[in-house]
Amino acid sequence: MPRFALKIEYDGAPFNGWQRQAQGQPSVQAAVEAALAKLEPGPHTIAAAGRTDTGVHGRGQVAHVDLTKHWDPFRLSQALNQHLRPLPVAVLACAEVPEDFHARFSAVERRYLYRILCRRAPPILERGQVWHLLTPLDLGAMQQGANHLVGHHDFTTFRSALCQASSPIKTLDEVTITAQTLPNGTEYRFALRARSFLHNQVRSIVGTLVRVGNGAWAPARVGQALDARDRAACGSVAPPQGLCLTQVRYLVDPFA
């Protein structure tokens, strides 16, 4: 059976996350599988690089599926997009891959972007895509706090109590925070890069760094929270709408 990799973009707002829900609630996975079933008799099960939560977006999600027909990848992507309409999900690229390719287990890096818009007026054009805060944040202090998290650590403090990972130990390769001055406010972007992440790790980190940015915490307290290895030491968890899975990398790019 030929195996295909799909690069998928989606707005997470109307979905209960990526993963198919037992209760039949809408999910991105179920939407793509339903589109596949209209092309080949199903049911189909696709595997993804990351199971994004309710309300979290994807710009570079990767999934794979086994089909019976040797589709032309371009035709397959176009046919899927036709059947996905009008849902806010699109297949950006498609490629036939070796049978040992796995969207999740073959991935060597995942990148997330979290966006915060600080201004008095509520977001209109960016509604549902950013975390809206009213007052500016201290960029330098947040970066100082973030630097404590880069490296190989026990991230128990920054993972959900429902996390199913076998170990809280992860290597966080990058946390870079930038700010863009806008006519009526400032947008802060948190770029995080690692081989893999724990459940709610990114949102927990961002929520904690905002405590630093608004002056409630000193930067050094982020390191103290990490060392505590205690969920209670974490700051608040940032809301999902500002988070986007932007890229998944493999040793050989299946879409190159």
Q: What is the pTM of this model?
A: 0.96
Summarised one tens digit per residue, pLDDT across range 184-205 is 999 999 999 999 999 999 999 9
Residue 234 CA: distances (Å) to CA of 110, 139, 204: 23, 19, 7
- And the tokens for 235? 């700051």
Summarised one tens digit per residue, pLDDT across range 137-187 is 999 999 999 999 999 999 999 999 889 899 999 999 999 999 999 989 999
Q: Can you give the pLDDT at residue 156? A: 97
Active site residues: 53
Q: Would you identify the CATH topology of the domain 107-247?
A: Alpha-Beta Plaits (3.30.70)
CATH number, domain 3-105: 3.30.70.580
Sequence ranges of the domains in the chain: 3-105, 107-247
Phi then psi for 51, rounded to 5 degrees? -95, 85
Q: Give the single-character DSSP code of 231.
A: G
Q: Give the single-character DSSP code of 193.
A: E
Token look-up 């993972």 returns 159
Q: Can you give the pLDDT at residue 175? A: 98
- And the tokens for 43? 């049911």
One fold for 3-105 and 107-247: yes
Strands 185-194 and 47-48 turn out to be unpaired
- And the tokens for 231? 């969920």
Comparing C-alpha atoms, which of 163, 142, 169 is closest to residue 226? Answer: 169
- For the cut 90, the answer to whether the pLDDT of residue 43 exceeds it is no
